[in-house]
Every structure is written in structure tokens, then in C-alpha cells.
Structure 1
């Protein structure tokens, strides 16, 4: 039986040193941390991610079509990378929005206290 970790490391052999460091960091995270990082904080973010992936794959309704998607390893990797980047972007945008909302609330409270 082959060792799956060897296959993964073989996949990254051609990558840069920084990609290997990132892979090592992600591999060292606990399953609980990975689970927390991989879940969107809001249903809105999840919906945007789903729509993005559907847009990349196509949006034929599965109840009327028997859909099979065939791809190679490289294209699947690019699709996953695109989905991850979109997720990180949306998560950062959501955090920024929450931060700005919190700052606005603080400013409003300070204005009320000054009156």
C-alpha cells in the first residue's frame, strides 16, 4: 500500500520553498483548527462561494441532467485553488466589514456620550 503523504509531497516537489513551508504549516494544524478555518462565518459567504463554484463548473440543474465532470489533476488543483482564494478573499472582506461596523458603533457611542 502506498503512503498518501508521499503522494502529496510528490505533488509539491516542483513547487517553491514557500509553498512547501505553507504545506508544512497547514499539515501541522490540528483537525479542529482546520475545521474552523474551512467553515464560512456567515451564510452569505457560503452562498457566494457556492455560486462561484457553480459558475466555474456550469449551472445545469442536476434534476434534469446526469452531470459528470471529468478533469485532470492539474485542472482540479486550479479549481480548488480558485475556490480557496475566493474563500479567503470573502472571509477577509467579511472580517473587514465587521471591523468597520464595530468602529462605527464605537464612534456613535462616543458621540452619544459627548452630548
Structure 2
């Protein structure tokens, strides 16, 4: 999980954390001890759902990246690079004279041209900092994209999962539960704390995300006719 957090886009990491938090709850563990008890069959369904959510996040990220690439290609080149002057902050000081600006209290006032340029540069720098803060506090782009999709389009993000993907997910679940008999699945009781379950669900989401990475890589290797490489899971190298 630590490796995944370092490599994956922050919007993906944030989307996964928010999803798990919404599932488990937000009670602080230092003040509340929450225990979840269920049968293996229900836990298996949650595990499968979470892994498929991770798979869906990767597909949604692919689409977002494609849309951004197409938008950049479609943008017109308004100005030739050779026509754009290279200016650096603090270098536009080879001026003399005064600038008249309006003061809401005293009316027009004179300001030295060099001083006025310094004021403008400081104002631009502060505006850039504000824009940066707003961007960091903005809503998660990946989650907003998923919310904007119609149910039919949302389903398309998981419908691409082939038999190998479903088999891999079910294999993970059986190994984790150590129960495969259908009758035992309905009666075998599992008990865990909320923090431990949250870690497990987050990890399974990472596994689902990584399975989609591996699936794409294997498909590319089949098309190109190159021998498959040993997969690293989770999180696998970025494709």
C-alpha cells in the first residue's frame, strides 16, 4: 500500500480513501472501538465489490487521461513560440518616470514606474499562490467524473473485465477467507475491527486497480507478440 501511494496519482489514492471511509464510517478509532461481525458469504461479496471498484477506478483514469490528451491536441496554437517574449520576474526595471494610479480615498496619485512594476509582480505572485491553494482544495476529479456518468456508462467501466480478471479476484477472496464450500460460507462467522477491515478493503481496491493494469499490459504483449513479464501485485508498475 505504501508503494502504491507513492506511485499512483493522488486523485486515485484520494478516491480510494474516501470510498473506504464512506463504507466503514468516520468514528475516530482512538475514542471508539467498532467491531464488525458478518458471515463469510457477505464478506466475500463486499470484497469482490471493492476489488471491482478498484478496477473501475483504473478504467475511469484511462478515460480521463485520454480526454485530457484529446483536449490538448484540439487546442489551437494561438501564438507561435517565437512570437512569445521571454520575461523573467524582476527584470523589467529598465524604465523611468512615474505612473498615475487611482486611490479610492485620495484620488489619483503618482507612483515610481519601477516601484509600480514590483507591486504588480508581487500581486501576480500572490494570485498564483491563491490559485494553487484552490487547486489543492478542489474536489477529486476522478470521483466527480464518475458521478457525472450515466448508470449505463458507469457499468461500462467494469464490463470489460474478462474471465481471467473475475477468476483472479475470486481466487484472492477464497485465499483470504480460507473458506470455499458454499454451505460453510453461509455459516462461517468473521469478526474484525473497523480499522482492520478498512485496511483490508483499501488493499483489495489497490489489487483491483493493479489487476486492470496487468490486464492491459498482457493484452498489449499479446498484440505485440512479446513474452509476458512477471507481474508485481500490488501495485505493479504504471502502464
Q: Fold conserved (TM > 0.5)?
A: yes
Q: How many residues align?
A: 95
Pairwise CA RMSD: 3.5
Q: Does 1:61 align with 2:158?
A: no
The counterpart of 1:95, out of the listed 205, 212, 216, is 216
Mark the structure with the bigger radius of gyration. 2
Question: What are structure 2's unaligned runs of at least 5 residues?
Answer: 1-20, 27-135, 227-239
Structure 2 Cα separation of the partners of residues 53 and 19 of structure 1: 32
Question: What are structure 1's unaligned runs of at least 5 residues?
Answer: 1-6, 106-115
TM-score (norm. length: structure 2) = 0.32
**Are the structure 2 counterparts of residues 91 and 55 from structure 1 closer, same or farther at C-alpha, using a change threshold of 3 Å?**
same
More helix by share: 1
Given that residues 165 and 211 in structure 2 are in contact (C-alpha distance below 8 angstroms), is that contact kept between their aligned partners in structure 1? Answer: yes
| Alpha-carbon distance, 1:18 to partner | 7.9
**Are the structure 2 counterparts of residues 101 and 35 from structure 1 closer, same or farther at C-alpha, using a change threshold of 3 Å?**
same
| Structure with more relative contact order (C-alpha pairs < 8 Å, separation 6 or more) | 2
TM-score (norm. length: structure 1) = 0.57
The counterpart of 1:81, out of the listed 199, 202, 206, is 202
| Alpha-carbon distance, 1:82 to partner | 2.1
Structure 2 Cα separation of the partners of residues 40 and 82 of structure 1: 22
**Are the structure 2 counterparts of residues 60 and 43 from structure 1 closer, same or farther at C-alpha, using a change threshold of 3 Å?**
closer
Given that residues 53 and 83 in structure 1 are in contact (C-alpha distance below 8 angstroms), is that contact kept between their aligned partners in structure 2? Answer: no
Equivalent runs, 1:1-115 vs 2, <5 Å? 8=22, 20-39=140-159, 41-59=161-179, 61-64=181-184, 66-104=187-225
More strand by share: 2
Q: Which string of whole-angstrom CA distances, capped at 9 and with x for unpartnered residues, describes residues 12-59 of structure 1?
A: 8xxx95884443333333322332223452111111111112222332
